[in-house]
Structure 1
Amino acid sequence: MTTERLYDYYRENPVISTDTRNISPGCIFFALKGDLFNANEFAAQAIEKGAAYAVVDEEKYATNNQCLLVEDVLSTLQDLARHHRKQLNIPVIGLTGSNGKTTSKELVNAVLAERYKTFATFGNLNNHIGVPLSILSITGEVQIAVIEMGANHQKEIELLCTIAQPTHGIITNVGMAHLDGFGGFDGVKKGKAELYAYLKETHGYTFINRDNPYLLEMSTAAGLNKLIYYGTENGNTIKGELKSSDPFIEVDWTNHDVSSSVKTNLTGSYNFENILAAICIGDFFDMNPEEINTGLANYQPKNNRSQLTKTEKNTVICDFYNANPSSMTAALKNIAVLSADKKTAILGDMFELGPESHGQHELIAKQANESGLDEIIFIGKDFYSFKDNFKGTFFESPAEAAAYLQENPVQDHLVLLKGSRGMKLESLLQYL
């Protein structure tokens, strides 16, 4: 089964599924393998549910002519996406970074969609499986695509670039994330810079936050020359100023000596640079200030990223989709400057920090204690190890914290709820 032949099947059945729980009539099911599962075993079931074909890589599961036998299902999926990408003569914006990837992707898409037919990565389908699925979801009507690329080790962005083949790119920032997989902060910079290396090789355009010294250093090292700058100083294509972030962000910005202003529904001053990035990309694609501002003003944050939620008892900053030391520091700085009579932070452990985990949790606990909060609740075994070193209430699990909140309800507070995804802090929202 060659890629070209499989592409003929795909053009007739342009919907891909990797989960038998989500089979749509006429789709192509790709039987991926994982550490704990082998989807080859479910190929027949996928066809029974209406899949037109099932792509398998074990001969014993190729039981009829609807089963397409390949050497490796994952690499076949990636090769099919590469082939499809080559048929698409459109700009593709590759987007990565330690923090703010998904919010930036959503903001860029919200802006561009005011003028263009766009496609943007669904949710966080940003890895070696999600990116090919995203590329294969791009239809012929799409004029611009925004593809989010996540990574937790070296060479992953390099691989994703060969699939998405971005013509334009942006690294939102580099921070203390996935330190274990990348091998420390220098490894993070090296891994993210793989996007810059691809854009240098393919003569692509790069959007750079000129206020970020790490990005400037990385772009210089990569030898990039098609650069579009944004930031807070003169000399940038887009110059911005944060007017307010209490609780929602207002930005004044200038391009080509034309000044404009926009009010957003985003909280967190750390999102200012993500907004500027979206403005810069919209401007590059010939959008006028009115279109750009409309896209930004209408964007509603979701998926528990910088999402301000009013409950019956409190105002909660729902930012518990994920966490690392950089984003945790930014969130603590943000709540410190917001106006509220009483403030509480509920902080969960940060994962994938490797040997630096102990020191980074200690640093965040110290920052939280210095943030002027009325109450701090720490959750997780890493934070719990500091229960005798810092003020605050410490629990080893969210279940213990939930019991405490039921007995000691938080009322009329501004609450920051933040931790790594694996902490499942959404379980606490009902008690706030």
Structure 2
Amino acid sequence: MARGWRVTLGLLCCLSAVACGATAPRTGGKIVITVNGQAPQTQAFERRIFDEDAAAFEAAHPDIDIQPREGFMDPKVFSAKLASGQLEDVFYVYFTDPAQIIARRQAKDITDQLRGLPELKPGLLDFFTDDKGRVYGLPTANYSMGLLYNRVLFARAGLDPDRPPTTWEEVRAAAKKISALGNGIVGFADLSKNNQGGWHLTSWLYSVGGQVARRDGAGWKADFDNDKGREVLRHLRDMRWTDGSMGDKQLLEAADVQRMMGAGQLGMYLAAPDNIPPLVNQFGGSYNDYGMAPMPGGRGTLIGGEGYMINPKASPEKVRAGLAWLRWRYLDPDRIEGNLKRYADLKQPVGLPISPFSDIYAGAVREKQEALKAKYATVPVRNYQSFVDAKLKGGVEPPNAQRVYAALDSLMQAVLTDRGADVDRLLAEAETKVNSALAQAG
């Protein structure tokens, strides 16, 4: 869990010089660094952007040679790659990875090579910081969950598309009105299989001030067999069985609700902003038809994100070169406008709360980013502004998240498919399974 510290210059020393190309050149050649995060060839646009950035960086830093590698973080092979010398010099991680990597001394301490970072959102650097305040990586992107809704169906149901629900009771009321439109339209849908149900249940719990797990000494314990857990499941059961606003088809996953939303048959579902482009590109929707609001309940939201760390075996020169690359590509406020213009010129959506602007900045840089986003917008920014402006407490994914989510899937499935589901028994059984998963996380 993020501790909410602000990035302070006292913690960090010397990145501003690195970002300006002040790496010490190698005698007789360039400093060569391998970096992962390159998209596969099947993702042509994302790969193009990565490769263009690598070429532009090398032009600005002629003493550094970037050697891209496809792929991201695979925990199953990470330790083996490190031990065999195959791990990249600069490697991608999710926010759930750094704590264990730091504990195992599998990343470089970069504290003494950092200085002059732009102001970041409170807590993000904490994912890469140990209990002594030493820093082992940098955040490069952040997301949070919210309520994705269909503005057209809101209007048809007599709801104000510019005033989306802010409480779960308001979600329930809106879902009933939308479902009353008939013709197979569903007011609200949620996921319940392939670990996605557990992921969304975690988001629900955070939104009402609950949690999936709590610290217990050096480990973790499940913490949802309580009033918060019952509150969430009762609300879900009421919408499904009392109101009939969730439809009869259950055991859904992300592609199912995206298809429903893209076809204009769904009013609302929980999602991160990266769900919006597939609604348009894969399922025939329109950016004008959707809105994004903060998580109902107002008590919190599930956050996630990504960043990069440095191979613990990297030489000082490779460390400096790697940090120069990270700062230039991901943490340079002077590149915001150019990136936005590039995306607009390439007919990519600009104005959504997703790339090319990472949701990591605070203060004046964030204000600058939002102003430029409005300037170059190709989609209606106001549809998503309440989500962007929200300041909800963020909770990260639990340890061993996928096994935890698999255990929680059963809760969602039972409540959504069995009118007489015993919520108390289901919660107790799920806590036993989750405790087993947490114990394996160490």
Q: Give the TM-score of the pair, scaled to structure 1.
A: 0.26
The structure that is strand-richer by fraction is 1
Q: Give the TM-score of the pair, scaled to structure 2.
A: 0.26
